[in-house]
Amino acid sequence: MINQQQLWDAEAAKHYDTPGEGMFAPEVIGSTVEVLAELAGAGRAVEFAIGTGRVAIPLSEAGVPVSGVELSHAMISRLREKVTEDQIPVVQGDMTEAVAGEGFSLAILVFNTIANLLTQDEQVRCFQNAARHLAPGGRFVIELWVPQLRSLPPGHGGTVEMSRPGYLLVDTYDVLNQQVVSHHVRFGAELSEGREARIGRTPHRYIWPSELDLMARLAGFELESRWADWDRSEFTAESRSHVSVYRVAQDHRRMTCHLAGGP
Q: Which tens digits make up the pLDDT trace of 204-222?
A: 999 999 999 999 999 999 9
pLDDT in tens, 175-197: 999 999 999 898 876 555 556 78
In this prediction the pTM is 0.87
Main-chain dihedrals φ then ψ at residue 196, nearest 5 degrees: -80, -35
Distance CA 200, CA 198 (A): 7
Q: Are strands 167-174 and 179-187 parallel, antiparallel or unpaired?
A: antiparallel
Main-chain dihedrals φ then ψ at residue 213, nearest 5 degrees: -65, -35
pLDDT in tens, 116-140: 999 999 999 999 999 999 999 999 9
Residue 105's region, left for phi above 0, alpha for psi from -120 to 50, else beta, is alpha
51: nearest Cα among 25, 23, 79, 24: 79
Distance CA 173, CA 177 (A): 9
- Residue 172 pLDDT > 80: yes
